[in-house]
Amino acid sequence: MPVDDPAKIPINIDKRLAMMGQMMKATDTDLSTAASLNKLGRYNEMVSNCLDCPSPEACEEWLAAKPKHANAPGFCPNAKHLNR
């Protein structure tokens, strides 16, 4: 049965979190360093941002290009945390 309201389509949490990890890797963001600096509140915010992201298709396309040492793209809700 089709879903009439796209907002009711469940997101794939595992896929989104994997994409966030790929984005962190592409932008040279080291999670272990962030954790050791007691920035887990920021990490929790990043997880929420990723799960709520309205641009997962654009993210997949960007990640498929295999960027390295890049800045997060403008559509990324975590760009402010990743582009430091």
pTM confidence score? 0.77
Q: Is residue 1 situated within a structural domain? A: no
Q: Which domain holds residue 17?
A: 11-82
Distance of CA 28 to the CA centre of its chain: 13
Q: Is 5 part of a structural domain of the chain?
A: no
Stretches where the chain sits below pLDDT 70 are: 1-10, 33-40
2 occurs within a structural domain: no
Q: Give, in order, the Cα–Cα distances in Å from 16 to each of 35, 37, 47, 65, 72.
A: 20, 24, 9, 17, 15
- Answer yes or no: is 51 within a domain: yes
Question: Is 30 a domain residue?
Answer: yes
How many domains does one find in the chain? 1
- What pLDDT, on the 0 to 100 scale, is given for residue 1? 43
